[in-house]
Structure 1
Amino acid sequence: MRADTAPADLLRHGLRLLQAKDVDGWVNLWDEDAILEFPFAPGGRPKRLEGRVAVAAYMSDYPDHIDLHDFPHAEIMQTLVPDAVVVEMHGVGRLADTDRHFGMSSIAVVADTNGLITRYRDYWNPLAVQDPATHFAGSTA
């Protein structure tokens, strides 16, 4: 991306790359020292990745597990910080391992410098992509 790319445009482009399963293109949107955080990550999953190399390693097999079809809702809001946005989004797709379809809403806070992502804090709900039989065990609903 160009250094003068607005954070909202950078985010939109990144979502298109994820949908296209272009992990290399998506990783190239990240600054070398970027930080990716998952505050609600379940046990055994990383809560923080530091650097583009760590982000690339984490995402390397993404298309083998997630078949992301669409973001039917992505509302991007500019913050008072010029190089940061908040996005409220809903993604839909299929889990490749189980062939189960999912819908997942999340909020992310994304900051960039010189047209590259420097910080991405992803408040996604890990329950949305787990097997319903395991995360609602004991529930009668």
Structure 2
Amino acid sequence: MEYDQSPVILAAQKYLSVVKGGSIDTWMDIWADDAVVEFPYSPDPFPLRLEGKDAIYAYYKNIAPL
């Protein structure tokens, strides 16, 4: 397998391409329904953890555009 064709590299390239495109709906298509995002040093009132695609979407749709 070529280094630039590894599944990890391809997934990272897709992720960065979607983020660069600026569409949160397209970005959310990448996430699994049971995805988890953790912010271990998040200050109040921000969450320490987001559980599930719906929670992730609800959080990110209200902050600065991708």
Shorter-chain TM-score above 0.5: yes
Identify unmatched segments of 5+ residues in structure 2. 1-5
Q: What is the aligned-residue identity percentage? A: 31
Looking at secondary structure, tell me which structure has more strand per residue: 1
Q: CA deviation at 1:20?
A: 1.9
TM-score, structure 2 normalization: 0.73
RMSD over equivalenced CA pairs, Å: 2.0
- Number of residue-to-residue matches in the alignment: 61
1:23 match:
24
Higher relative contact order (CA 8 A, sep 6+): 2
Q: Does the C-alpha gap of structure 1 residues 42 and 8 become closer, same or farther in structure 2, counting only changes over 3 Å?
A: farther
Identify unmatched segments of 5+ residues in structure 1. 69-141
Q: CA deviation at 1:42?
A: 1.9
1:8 and 2:9 matched: yes
TM-score, structure 1 normalization: 0.38
Q: Quick check: which has more Rg, 1 or 2?
A: 1
1:53 match:
54
2:3 match:
none
SS of 2:57's equivalent in the other structure is helix
SS of 2:54's equivalent in the other structure is helix
